[in-house]
Amino acid sequence: MSEVDRLARERLRADEAKRRSIGLGDAARDFWRHPSPWLISVFLVAIGVTRVVVGDWRWSDAVTPLVMLAVFPFFEWVVHVCVLHWRPRRLGPLTVDPLLSRKHREHHVDPRDIPLVFIPWQVFLWLLPVILAIGLLLFPRAGLGLTFMTVVGLLGIGYEWTHYLIHSDYRPRSRLYRAVWRNHRLHHYKNEHYWFTVTTSGTADRVLGTYPDARTVANSPTARELHSS
């Protein structure tokens, strides 16, 4: 066994030893102690109520969520690869290193540090206005823009819940969740260059070539310290 393999197994065993048995209710109570779920939920309720009040339901309000569900794994993949795994770059005297990228590197160092699992609250200071601008300005009617923003809120809370649950002490019980759980743990504990989707397993990763047979992939020496030499 190589030194990298030995260290990877030791790290996984050490993290597993810290796990305790909790139920889904315990996990949910801890989930709501963090700011990100509340920020998304307030946005979701406000937009959802507005959508109902506006009315003007059309067939496109049913098609839009289906399209967004199909696209979301690819959006998740692109953000994970291009933003979260961003390598700091020098631009003249400046270092370009976004907050999301910095926090994600910390998340890889300690996947059990639960506050690092969530989207930093500071990100919502610009993200929510951007979503509002897209919904209000880029759709042909207000109702459809509100439908888009409602689905964004649902996808956001679903992402945060799934990502949190994977890193919590809750053990997977269903076959579907077990596949998602295993997929993300391979990304953290085996090789950070594969398995980028979080809320699904083998969707965008299969299409984009980052879903190999885990038995054929070497343990990465930089799965914990991203971009280190």
Q: What is the pLDDT of residues 62-78, one digit of tens each?
A: 999 999 999 999 999 99
Confidence of residue 104 (pLDDT cuts 50, 70, 90): very high
pLDDT at site 202: 87
CA nearest neighbour of 132 among 161, 152, 118, 159: 152
What mean pLDDT do residues 45-53 have? 98
Please state the pTM of the whole predicted model: 0.92
> Residue written as tokens 């980052």?
210
Average pLDDT, integer, range 34-45? 98
pLDDT band at 229 (very low <50, low <70, confident <90, very high): low
Residue 97: pLDDT band by 50, 70, 90 thresholds? very high
Task: Dump pLDDT digits (tens) for 134-178.
Answer: 999 999 999 999 999 999 999 999 999 999 999 999 988 899 999
Mean pLDDT of the chain: 93
pLDDT of 4: 61
In angstroms, the CA 134 to CA 15 distance is 41
Distance in angstroms (rounded) separating the CA atoms of residues 31 and 86: 27
pLDDT at 20: 74
110-123 average pLDDT score:
96
Residue 19 pLDDT greater than 90, yes or no: no
Kindly indicate the confidence band of residue 6, based on its pLDDT and cuts at 50, 70 and 90. low
If pLDDT is split at 50, 70 and 90, which confidence band does 5 have?
A: low
Asked whether 121 and 36 are in contact (CB, 8 A), the reply is yes
pLDDT band for position 228 (50/70/90)? confident
Find the radius of gyration of the CA atoms of the chain: 19
Q: What pLDDT was estimated at residue 92? A: 86
